[in-house]
Amino acid sequence: MQDLNRAFETPWKILNELLRWATYPRVRLKFALNGIEWRQGWRFYGMPIIQKHRHSWMSFGSGLRLRSSIRSNPLAPYHPVILSTRNKTSRLEVGVNFSMTGGTICTAETITVGNNVNVGSNSTLIDTDFHPLDPKVRHLSPQDGLSAPINICDDVFIGMNCVVLKGVTIGQGSVIGTGSVVASDVPPHVIAAGNPARLVRELPPRES
């Protein structure tokens, strides 16, 4: 009875679940066509965009939750979740219980995401500059920007409208404040925020 009352109090969630089940066959087909192994407990609210190089690697653990529909979250995504591997050697590896609303994960080299990571609405993880900084090089080879791996450790929470740039490691249990640009490493168990993101304060490590 309590669950029924809760459903009537939040009727938009009922519609979200109905739409999720309606989308399920198309989402599963899209992952299969891209050679991505399906895991248990995945939930998709709206269709993500997958741009996978045929010879690249893309893997997600169980409990994946991606919200691409504007109605699926009050912090409405600007666009569907985009998952992109740009080169044949690109690798995107995501652990269990990952969640993301809108936003983009784009890798030319390697992006590794640990377990129990949450990424807020409309944030971007990108391990490449795309375009060279030198205008002469950019004219000759416009796609040869520098790249460096990104590593997001377990239990990280990234707020909405953040950007995580190439070569960054975010330590276990850390929180990235809304609207931050993370251009350098963040140690474990801290809050970092700003542009560029800087240490705000330390957090107590979670007891095991």
Quick check: is 53 catalytic? no
Q: Determine contact, residues 20/46, Cβ cutoff 8 Å.
A: no
Residues in the chain, total:
208
d(CA 30, CA 32): 5
Exactly one of 53, 79, 131, 189 is catalytic; name it.
Answer: 131
Active site residues: 131
